[in-house]
């Protein structure tokens, strides 16, 4: 199972009124839930999280790289 979870709370080129409150947390929670529930159903689970709270931030370059990662599925 390949999981790509992207959560962006703050959009640097938009007014702060467009910011979201829980997108990054939701991406983390969804990835963790899928990883946990995949146990026993899939031989391997590969998870990539891009979010404001993760080590890899969701910028254009990291999203394109993550899409290449997904093509391995």
Quote the pLDDT of residue 20: 96
d(CA 71, CA 2): 9
| CB 24, CB 54: distance < 8 Å | yes
pLDDT of residue 68: 92
User: Which residues share a beta bridge with 2?
Assistant: 46
Please state, rounded to an integer, the average pLDDT across all residues of the chain: 94
Question: In this predicted model, what pLDDT tens digit does every residue of 14-45 receive, in sequence order?
Answer: 999 999 999 999 999 999 999 999 999 999 99
Q: Is residue 73 predicted with pLDDT exceeding 90?
A: no
Backbone angles phi, psi at 49, to 5 degrees: -120, 125
Predicted TM-score (pTM) of the model is 0.86
At residue 37, the pLDDT reads 96
Q: What is the pLDDT of residue 58?
A: 93
């Amino acid at each position: 199972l390949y999981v790509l979870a992207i959560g962006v709370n703050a959009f640097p080129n938009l007014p702060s009124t467009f910011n979201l409150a829980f997108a990054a947390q939701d991406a983390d929670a969804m990835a963790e839930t899928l990883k946990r529930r995949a146990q026993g159903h899939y031989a391997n689970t590969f998870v990539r999280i891009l979010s404001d709270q993760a080590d890899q931030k969701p910028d254009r370059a990291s999203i394109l790289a993550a899409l290449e990662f997904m093509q391995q599925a």
